[in-house]
Structure 1
Amino acid sequence: MGLKDSLKVKADELKVKASELTGRHEEKIDDVVDKTGQAVDKATKHKYHEKIEHGTAKAKHMVNDFATKPDAGKTS
């Protein structure tokens, strides 16, 4: 097994570990996303409220997908 193959195997292991940790802490991550969205919404004086809500919902959906399926966002 070459260096490239070894690195790919290690990267896959790390992706699985990150997915497990994300799943374990998904509720905390969602809370942080919500608080960040609220802070940005307040800072922009609610001018972009709908876009911020859409973005936070999408971020939480992506976290959920990664927690359950680590390859869901894979582009290659």
Structure 2
Amino acid sequence: MSIEDLSKKATEVAGKVGEFAKENADKVGEALKSDQAESISDKILDGAADLANKVTGGSHADKIAEVRDNLDGKIGNQ
């Protein structure tokens, strides 16, 4: 499969995902506010914050925590 074929296929898949999201916006919204989304997002956000703190040597820990908490408020139910 060539690069052009992969690009075309990726574009087709992205279009289908977009259509699904539009058609199921209510369900997608509910899923993002679920207990399961909260648990998964907490793990991902904690890991990303830890990595960012490690890379910056903790020099931006307050800002990293602020961004992490802001994102956490938009995903899950807490």
Q: Identity over the aligned pairs, expressed in percent? A: 18
Structure 1 spans left out of the alignment, 5+ residues: 1-9, 68-76
- Runs ≥4 in structure 1, deviation > 4 angstroms? none
Number of residue equivalences: 56
Aligned to 1:17: 27
Aligned AA (2:30): E
Aligned to 2:43: 31
TM-score (norm 2): 0.60
TM-score (norm 1): 0.61
Shift of 1:19: 1.9
Shift of 1:41: 0.8
User: Whose radius of gyration is greater, 1 or 2?
Assistant: 2
Shift of 1:17: 2.0
Aligned AA (2:61): H
Q: What is the rounded CA distance, in whole Å, between the counterparts of 2:24 and 2:50 in structure 1?
A: 32
DSSP-derived class of the 1:25 partner: helix
Aligned to 1:41: 53
Q: Deviations over 1:19-74 (max 9, x none)?
A: 2322132211111011101111111100110000000000001114xx6xxxxxxx
Aligned AA (1:17): K
Aligned to 2:73: 61
Which stretch shows the higher mean deviation, 18-27 or 49-58? 18-27
